[in-house]
Amino acid sequence: MQKISIIFFGTHNFAATILEGLLKSPFVSVDLVITQPDRPVGREQKLQPSPVKILAQKHNLPIDQPQNLKNYELRVTSYGLHLAIVAQYGLLIPENIINAPKLGTLNIHTSLLPKYRGASPIQSALINGEKKTGVTIMKMDKGLDTGPILLQKTLKISPDDTYTILDEKLAKIGLQALTEALPKYIQGKLKPKPQKNAKATACKQLTREDGKIDWNKPAQEIYNLYRGLTPWPGVWTQWENKRLKLLRIQPANRKLGSGQVAVENDKIFIGCDKKSIEVLELQLEGKKATTAKMFINGHQNIDDTMLK
């Protein structure tokens, strides 16, 4: 089968895994990569290219980084534009671009659609304590993740999976699903099937405020929030009018009042509605990240305080 020309839209690590697999495919030629603009990172706010841009540069692929696609014009004449593939791109793609390729635009979505349509399907599955998730290869339309389905693969979620771990697992099966679906779709042997809209659920764009912990909730719910929001935007509480970010936590069996802090054997425990959580690593606003033991040494007044 002759190779077809594709344009790839993607930004994050998940997308880089998909792109790397496509570059090895005998069915496609990646002729343009579109990724988000370089973003400032860290205290010094140095511009950092996306994982997809780094990979594309390594393979000398043409790259575009528009701020948005509202008035963006695809280079149709230059590349033939047979197919577009989207994976964790992160910007809205207008209908005229979705429909421009001859074979349309395919998206690798990180949920079992129609469940968790939207911007945070991996995080939402973890926060809600789901036992399984998966990937969906879908043909995009003008709606938000509403297009017909080509192929799905299911993945079991482990009890201690965080976003980073689950993202990596989904990238691997996402590439498997795309590799399986592409030749059949290109040859017209894989027909898209409409989603069951009545069973659809949505998930939102996350902000830092979503990581604020409610200590009146059970320990497992708080741990699930941590799993879904680590590393970004992270989970946090407030102590002495400063934001206290909890970088590593785990469920514990100490019986404490909701929000009550207890220090024992260089360990920090915080009470919840049911049981408690142990804080292993944390970071006070304006300070460096530290272990629980080191934090206790520098902040002995944290023992037996109440967090809200």
Q: Mind listing the pLDDT tens digit for each residue in 217-265?
A: 999 999 999 999 999 999 999 999 999 999 999 999 999 999 999 999 9
Classify the phi-psi angles of 271: left when phi > 0, otherwise alpha if psi is within -120 to 50, otherwise beta: beta
> Which pTM does this prediction carry?
0.95
Residue 184 — left, alpha, or beta (φ > 0 → left; ψ -120 to 50 → alpha)?
Answer: alpha
140/85 Cα distance (integer angstroms): 10
Q: Which residues are annotated as a binding site for (6S)-5,6,7,8-tetrahydrofolate?
A: 111-114
Overall size of the chain counted in residues: 308
pLDDT band at 81 (very low <50, low <70, confident <90, very high): confident
What residue has token string 């841009």?
Answer: 53
Residue list for the binding site: 111-114
Domains of the chain: 4-203 (3.40.50.170), 208-302 (3.10.25.10)
Coil, strand or helix at 32: strand
Could you report the per-residue pLDDT of 202-217, keeping only the tens digit for each? 999 999 999 999 999 9
